[in-house]
Amino acid sequence: MYKESGACPKNCPSFTDSKRKENMQERLDGRKNTELRQIKITRKYISHADGSVFIEMGNTRIVCTATFEDKVPPFLRGKGKGWITAEYDMIPGSSPQRIIRPQATGRINGRTHEIQRLIGRSLRSAVDLNKIGERTIWLDCDVIEADGGTRTASITGSFIALFDCLQGMIDKGLIEEMPVESFVAAISIGIVNGDIMVDLCFGEDSKADVDMNVVANSKDNLIEVQSTAEGAPFSKEEFDEMLEKAMAAISELIDMQKKILSQKP
């Protein structure tokens, strides 16, 4: 288990319009604007999975598992190349209002589909798929509690689960070498009442004028940037500053991943 300083209290408060300073020095949960929430990562969390992680970022808690199977989608059959894909879901009690299970509605909603594709794209970018043979690695991300940043925490946690899955395949003699080419992590960032804030909890995200998610690797290369003016347009200078601070936060997360994966599970 890894713990980082700067804990988000048990109940991360929501922002209110009153008594709000335009240029605040500290956030309502006690963090500095560039400070990550407390992070706890537990490896080997699910015994049946080939790789698994329980990641907690503040009050956002997600179980990430990685499982491989000896087949690929039809478009890759016979090409000697593997595939990495993802599924993402939020359990009914993970948010204040009960979430209806997809099987009850008979379809996956657009947000869930978008996040699944984002996780899959992000993790595929980290691996040489030619080195895993005709196998598919499934990354399953189940949100136990949502307090902002679920898609970004899913990516950060899934990378560790994926790495452990691949190491297990090496140990079993299924692949010859580690196919990971770079580490990958992600973070949310936004502008709230004029301040740029890293790693938004729900109370901050719900009040943000600008909401941004950034995925990058250990080579300082961007994988994906999702940036939206929720309340007001933002300047190129603000975008550049958000991106710079997001990359610094991702560097911290990747350092954590490296430290965790250098230790025995």
Task: Give burial (CB, 10 Å; 0-12/13-18/19+) of 24.
Answer: middle
pLDDT in tens, the chain (265 residues): 444 333 333 344 433 333 333 444 468 688 999 999 999 999 999 999 999 999 999 999 999 999 999 999 999 999 999 999 999 999 988 988 898 888 777 777 788 999 999 999 999 999 999 999 999 999 999 999 999 999 999 999 999 999 999 999 999 999 999 999 999 999 999 999 999 999 999 999 999 999 999 999 999 999 999 999 998 899 999 999 999 999 999 999 999 999 999 976 6
**Does 9 map to a domain?**
no
**Does 201 map to a domain?**
yes
pTM, two decimal places: 0.88
**Does 18 map to a domain?**
no
CB 72 within 8 A of CB 81: yes
Total domain count, the chain: 1
**Does 17 map to a domain?**
no
The tokens for 80 are 């000697």
C-alpha to C-alpha distance for 238 and 242, rounded to whole angstroms = 6
Question: Which residue range is the domain that position 216 belongs to?
Answer: 39-261
Dihedral sign for Cα atoms in the order 253, 257, 258, 262: positive
The tokens for 195 are 């301040």
CATH for 132: 3.30.230.70
**Does 94 map to a domain?**
yes
**Does 1 map to a domain?**
no
**Does 89 map to a domain?**
yes
Alpha-carbon dihedral of residues 25, 227, 90, 217, nearest 10 degrees? Answer: -90
**Does 183 map to a domain?**
yes
Contacts of 137 (CB under 8 A, 6+ apart): 66, 67, 68, 82, 83, 84, 85, 162, 165, 166
